[in-house]
Amino acid sequence: MIREDFLPLARPVVGPDEIAAVTEVLKSGMWTTGPKVAEFEREFSAYLNAEGGVHTVALNSCTSGLYLSLLALGIGAGDEVIVPTWTFAATAHVVEWAGAKPVLCDIEEDSLNIDVQKAERLITENTKAIIPVHIAGYPCDMDAVASLAEQYDIFVIEDAAHAVGTKYFGQKIGNLSDITTFSFYATKNLAMGEGGLAASKDERLIEKIRKLSYFGINKEAFKRYEKRGTWFYDIEALGYKCNLDSMHAAVGLVQLRKLDAMNERRRAIAAAYKKGLSRRLTFTKDSDEHFHTYHLFPVLIPSSMDRDTLITGLRDRNIGTSVHFRPLHLHSHYRLAAEKFPVAERLFPRVLSLPMFSSMTDEDIDYVITNINELVGS
Ligand SMILES: *Cc1c(COP(=O)(O)O)cnc(C)c1O
C-alpha cells in the first residue's frame, strides 16, 4: 500500500512552545538582536558545557560563522585552507570570499569525513587552516586534526552544521578547536529557519566575530535601542550584516531545550533502520566511543544498482530522499581531476540519504524499511 502523504527527507519540529515564543517576541516589539539573542547565546554556551567556559555569538547562518571566522583569524589573499570535497558549497565558498584558496581533500571510506592523512599531503607553506566537517553528525578524527594543526601551526575551524550535540570521546563538539560553527537552518537538528552560531574558548575571537557581524560596530551597538543606551557608536572595522534576530533566537531557545530528546530520537530511528534495512545496503560509521547525532542517515547502495531509478521508485511510493553530497570537485565552479579524490569518486554514485527527522513515527520508519527492501532486495 502506498501511503497518501509524502514522507519528506526532513521536517522541523513545530510545537505550541515555538509558536508561543515567536508570538511573545512579536508582541514585545523587540524584534532584532537583543536580550533574547543574548539569552540564546548564554544557554547555548551552557549546553556546550566546556571546561573553562566557551564563548558564543549567534549569527544569521553557519555560512556567516565560517566566513567571519576566517576573517577573525586573519586569513586572506595568498593563504590556503584545506576543506573536504564531500561537503556543501558553504565550506569552500567562504574561503574564496575571504580571498584565500580552498584546497579540496578526499574523504575516509567508512565515515565520509575528511581523510586527515591525505590532508597532511596537501599542506604547503601557504596553508593557514583546515575546516573539518562532521558529516551526518559523526565526528571527524579530531585528535588527528589537532596534531596536524599543531605540527604545521595552522588553525582549525570546525564546520559543525550537522553536529549540534555530537560528542567526541564524551566531549561536545564546540570546545575542541579554535572556532566551531553551527547551523540552525530549517532541516538541521536544532532548527530556526535560518540561523547559526560561532563558538570558541577564546573570548577575543568571539568578540571580533561579533563586531564583524554588525558593520564593525562595537558590541554596545544594540543597546542604543534600550533606555540605558546612547545614540553614539563607532565603526571600528569594515564589518558585515550577519546578526541574528529575536524571533529566530526565541525558536532556538525552545528547540535547545528539546535538543537532547530530539537527538536521542534520531539515534533510535538510525538503530531501527540498521536493524530492518536490507543487508545489501552499507551504513556509514558509528562507534560507542562517540555520540553520533544522525543529522542525516546516508546509506551506500550496491554498486550494481542505479541510484536515480531507486530515487524515482521511492518517490513514486511517497518517500523523499536526497544526495549528500555531490563532491565539490565535480561541480563546474570547483572542477578538479577525479584522480585526486578516489574515495569520493567511488562512493558518490552509491550514496543516498533516507528520511531522518525526530518527529518520524514508528510507522514512518517501517514504511521506509519495507519499501526500500522491496526495491533493493534483501
Ligand atoms: C547546512 C550546512 C552549512 C550551511 O549552514 P547555513 O546555516 O545554511 O549557512 C554548512 N556546511 C554544511 C556541511 C551544511 O550542511
Give me the domain span that covers residue 67: 16-255
- CATH code for position 344: 3.90.1150.10
**285 in any annotated domain:** yes
**128 in any annotated domain:** yes
Residue 87 CA, closest ligand 1 atom number: 13
Q: Please state, in angstroms and rounded to a whole number, the distance separating the CA atoms of residues 102 and 87.
A: 12
Is the same domain home to 53 and 121? yes
Provide the grid cell at 237: 572595522
Catalytic residues: 188
Q: Please state, in angstroms and rounded to a whole number, the distance separating the CA atoms of residues 332 and 170.
A: 40
pLDDT of residue 218: 82
| CA atoms 150, 152, 157, 162: torsion sign | negative
pLDDT of residue 136: 98
Is the same domain home to 227 and 340? no
pLDDT of residue 52: 74
Residue 159 CA, closest ligand 1 atom number: 11
The total number of structural domains that make up the chain: 2
pLDDT of residue 224: 63
- Helical residues (DSSP H) of the chain, grouped into ranges: 16-28, 35-48, 62-72, 89-97, 116-121, 142-152, 203-212, 246-276, 307-316, 342-347, 362-376
Last residue of a domain, one of 232, 255, 278: 255
62 lines ligand 1 (CB under 6 A): yes
Residue 162 CA, closest ligand 1 atom number: 15
88 lines ligand 1 (CB under 6 A): yes
Divide the 378 residues of the chain into consecutive groups of 10 and give the mean pLDDT of each group: 96 97 97 96 93 92 98 98 98 98 98 98 98 98 98 98 98 96 98 98 97 89 69 92 98 98 98 98 98 98 97 98 98 94 98 98 98 96
**52 in any annotated domain:** yes
pTM of the model: 0.97
Is the same domain home to 207 and 314? no
**251 in any annotated domain:** yes
**11 in any annotated domain:** no
214 lines ligand 1 (CB under 6 A): no
Dihedral angle over CA of 366, 372, 374, 376, nearest 10 = -150
Is the same domain home to 169 and 85? yes
90 lines ligand 1 (CB under 6 A): yes
Nearest CA to ligand 1 atom 1: 161
Contact indicator for 106, 340 with CB cutoff of 8 Å: yes
Compute, in angstroms, the gap from residue 231 CA to the centroid of ligand 1.
Answer: 36
Last residue of a domain, one of 255, 278, 305: 255
pLDDT of residue 229: 76
Is the same domain home to 60 and 202? yes
Q: State whether residue 157 is helix, strand or coil.
A: strand
